[in-house]
A and B are shown apart, each in its own frame.
Chain A
Amino acid sequence: MAGKIVADTLEHSTAGSVTTDYVVDGSVKAWCVHTNSAGIESSKALNISAGTDNGTGQYTMNFVNNFDGAVFAVTATMFDASNADFVVADDPTASSIKVRVFTTAGSNRDQKGSIHVLGDLA
């Protein structure tokens, strides 16, 4: 049966305690695994409305629930152990984040990857 627990502190029997605002504030608010063409891999995403394929190695992930501004923490990765590529998250807005993957020579390259976004929602 669905229920609700209202608590300010979670306490372990020996490991100490944490206030629940850390749990709320520290939760990932948006994430996805994207394909090399800005699709969502195997429906693995939360709080993403759509991906935009902007060109080779350039993707925008659009949020359903906007963040409260353009300042939030993003971790972007890509899944390819055979290429020493770089991935950057760029141009954040309250409603989207861009991801770019490029080689050591500076050329963009299509790659499957993932993003995690933490911050304050609108």
Chain B
Amino acid sequence: MQTPEFQGTHLWLRLGWAKENLEPHQSDYRVVYEDSVDECAKILVPDPNWMACALQGGILPPVWVYHELAKDEAQEDFKKHTRGYLLHETQPVEAMTEEEAIEYLILKDCPQSVWQDWDSGNRPKMVICRKDQLPQTREWRNAWRISNDIAA
């Protein structure tokens, strides 16, 4: 399936096209991260429709667009986005591998404080794993931490 030329097309409309034309791809990857010493580990789970867009290419904006919007939102006097056009006008990224898509998702949806220096402390703050490597029961979910045995 050939992706239409989407530069200049509203991102939300591109997602509508993707939902009609692409088969969702369920990823087995999970990103486990800790962004607070007082909280349990968090787990990022990719959406299959989003993953299909990433694998197809020509749909998603470059991840730096989200960082620019986050900078705007962090301004003290922020009321609403005025640079939303970056999502729609910037040249979309090309097709990614599933691994590249997970890296993109980390930069987009994990806190910058986690991915910027994830392995610089005493223990890693972030791990990419398969879902079958997670505990199979959620009974003690709020006690989950990244294992100290994980090599950086």
Contact = CB atoms under 8 A, between A and B. Distances in A.
Interface in B52-91: 53, 60, 66, 69-70, 73, 78-81, 83-84, 87
A114 interface: no
B95 interface: no
B87 A38 contact: no
B44 A52 contact: yes
Contact of B108 (A32, A45, A49, A93): A49
Given A37-B43, A38-B43, A46 B69 contact: no
Interface residues of A, number: 36
A6 to B, nearest CB: 14
Interface string A54-84: 1110000010111011100000000000000
Contact of B81 (A49, A55, A94): A94
A101 interface: no
A68 B45 contact: no
Contacts of B83: 122
B126 interface: no
B24 interface: yes
Contacts of B42: 52-55
Most chain A Cβ neighbours within 10 Å, of B10, B16, B48: B48
A43 B12 contact: no
A54 B111 CA distance: 13
B130 interface: no
A50 B50 contact: yes
A100 interface: no
Nearest to A54: B42
Contacts of A54: 39, 42
B123 interface: no
A5 to B, nearest CB: 14
Interface string B119-152: 0000000000000000000100110000000000
Contacts of A110: 138, 141
Contacts of A95: 66, 69-70, 73
Contacts of B19: 46
B15 A66 contact: no
Interface of A: 29, 32, 36-40, 43, 45-56, 62, 64-66, 68-70, 93-96, 108, 110, 120-122
